[in-house]
Amino acid sequence: DVLLLDPALVYPSALSVNVAVTLENVALMTGRATVDTAMPRFMDGLTVNASDVHLLGLEIKRGDPLTDIVVLNGANPTLDGCRVLGDKLHGAKRGIAGNAPNVTVIRCYVADCFGTYPGNDTQAFAAWNSPGPFRLVDSYFSGGSETILFGGADPVDAAHVPAHITITGCTITKDPAWQ
């Protein structure tokens, strides 16, 4: 199924996607997502539990800066042209937790993933429990500790060590003000 979403949509609660579906902005643009493109907004995070879920042209935030904004669990998820944003003042633990097989992130803008609290690492994208493959393509990633992290925690078994990683045409950066 494809659900076409109006750019004026604001979904205030946490959303868990438990069936294969495409959530698509009706005003889908071409090229990389930017900070000012009109997008349907999910204000308290999004968790993908089903396989074959595609998120196209969505803005996703989360109110709690100590949690992950987007959590990928189901196989074959795609984020295309999405904007994943932590809080400008309080940051976010992680923009995308990509612990699913066959993850694709393309033309996305992932920013403000930093911590104002000492002792915790933060990332724009991280995966530690997935066999891959991972495709990060033409996206903007801005994270406080490790902007992109593979590993960093123990996978459930040797078959879930992240592998087959491709990062192409991405901007990987940090804001010096976070230091």
Amino acid letter, 56: L
What is the pLDDT at residue 159?
84
Q: Enter the pTM of the model.
A: 0.95
What is the pLDDT at residue 21?
98
Taking only the tens place, the pLDDT of each residue in 99-153 is 999 999 999 999 999 987 776 789 999 999 999 999 999 999 999 999 999 998 8
Q: Which two tokens stand for residue 102?
A: 């066959």
60 CB-near residues (< 8 Å, 6+ apart): 41, 42, 45, 46, 69, 70, 82, 83, 84, 85
In contact, 153 and 128? CB cutoff 8 Å: yes
Euclidean distance between CA atoms 16 and 117, whole angstroms: 27
In contact, 147 and 124? CB cutoff 8 Å: yes
What integer best gives the mean pLDDT of the chain? Answer: 94
How many Cα atoms are found within 13 Å in the side-chain-facing hemisphere of 112?
Answer: 19
127 CB-near residues (< 8 Å, 6+ apart): 97, 98, 99, 103, 134, 149, 150, 162
What is the pLDDT at residue 155?
82
